[in-house]
Amino acid sequence: MFEKVLVPTDFSSHAKKVVECIGQIPGIKQVVLLSVISRSVITRVWDPVAELKEVEARLMEEKKLIDAPGVEVKVRAVSVLEGEIANAVQRVAEEENVSLVAMGARGKSRIQSVLLGSVSRNALRFGDTHLLIMRYKVLDSGEMEMYCDRIFSKVLFPTDFSQPAEVALSFLKNVQGISELVLLNVVSTGETDEEIEENQAAANKKIEEITRDLEKSGMKVIPKVLVGHPVETIRTVAEE
């Protein structure tokens, strides 16, 4: 499913964790490791050739973090004007014809994390490629927890029973490595207790139908219908 994956990196600790784990994606065959060099339009003294060579050398070092037999790794460094990082990531994704873009949720600093967040958000809103944003918990020791052995093993799928949700679920059936799926619907409408109960009953019926269909393909499904604010409820269930 995800045979060729693009990994944008800023060489931060969070980005390196993504690089370390990316070879564990089920079915992966090739990784494109990308660094986007951004410069201000007011920069007067700048040697793009020298900087690209320096970044390519760093990419070759980071390439060694991908310890996955049989996975080919390609490195690319591109230079863009400030504010064009997201466009560069999307352009390279199209040029390389990747099936997935994977990136960390944070960058080198709190300020740069805002930039990385905007890149991820724009890739999600305007990109044509599947996007995986990877987060890592910081342990008491200061090190980041390793999720490599659990990529896609347990997936939370929130659904509102819409047509886009049906398309996403149909796609999810073909993703390799999923051993457990949490199927969630959050009931967030209803003026009275009676209306809420009716909406819950209707949601439970739909969830049960979807669960039966998924179980036919051998997937373990945990169905949930909860009442509350969709975003907060989804976050709570994900943490559980």
Sequence-ordered strand ranges (E) for the chain? 4-8, 30-39, 72-81, 100-104, 130-134, 154-158, 180-187, 220-227
Averaged pLDDT, 205-215? 96
| pLDDT: which is higher, 211 or 124 | 211
List the domain boundaries for the chain.
Answer: 4-134, 152-239
Q: What is the pTM of this model?
A: 0.80
Strand, helix or coil for residue 197 = helix
> Measured at the alpha carbon of residue 180, what is the angle toward residues 175 and 184, in degrees to the nearest 5?
95
The CATH code for residues 4-134 is 3.40.50.620
Please give the share of the chain, as a percent, with pLDDT higher than 70.
Answer: 80
pLDDT at 100: 93
Q: How far apart are CA 169 and CA 157, in angstroms?
A: 8
Q: Give tens-digit pLDDT for 155-204.
A: 999 999 999 999 999 999 888 888 899 999 999 988 899 999 999 999 99
Domains 4-134 and 152-239 share a fold: yes
For residue 226, the number of C-alpha atoms closer than 13 Å in the C-beta half-sphere is 18
What's domain 152-239's architecture?
A: 3-Layer(aba) Sandwich (3.40)
- Of 91, 79, 73, nearest to 36 (Cα)? 79
pLDDT surpasses 80 at 117: no
* Residue with the two structure tokens 């009442």: 227
